Amino acid sequence: MKTPEMEDALDAMAKAMFGRGRRDSMGNSICVSCGTKVSLIIDPSLQLIEGALPFRDALSLKEYGISGLCMKCQDGVFGCAEPDDDDDFDTDADLLWERDQDCD
Ligand SMILES: [Zn+2]
């Protein structure tokens, strides 16, 4: 279980990174990163429901409860590219490569 201090730290981090708070976003069922409206249900087809994006599986829904990221952003962040671990640091090229990965 997360402590209030951790919650505050996560919230401050989200505000700094995304310009909106994590708890506010969750309270309004939107993605903290891109502002997409999310639906707190599981639907592997990821069909929008009244303009809201569902989650692919239980793990992703749970992840929203932690990070506040929608399915799209979770795919972008955690989805495809595994960072190569033969390097001790990420070069700019690596970062660009990861960002350019197509998750479909
Ligand atoms: Zn998002």
Between the CA of 45 and the centroid of ligand 1 the distance, in Å, is 17
Between the CA of 64 and the centroid of ligand 1 the distance, in Å, is 10
Between the CA of 7 and the centroid of ligand 1 the distance, in Å, is 20
**Protein residues within 5 Å, CB atom, of ion ligand 1:** 31, 33-34, 36, 70, 72-73
Q: The tokens of 68 are what?
A: 């506040």
Does the pLDDT value for residue 74 go beyond 70?
A: yes
How does residue 19 score in pLDDT terms, banded at 50, 70 and 90? very high
31-44 tens-digit pLDDT: 999 999 999 999 99
Query: Is the distance from CB of 82 to CB of 97 less than 8 angstroms?
Result: no
Q: What is the DSSP string of 57-93?
A: SHHHHHHHHHH---HHHHIIIIISPPPPTTSSS--HH
Give the pLDDT score at 76: 87
Contacts of 104 (CB under 8 A, 6+ apart): none
Between the CA of 70 and the centroid of ligand 1 the distance, in Å, is 4
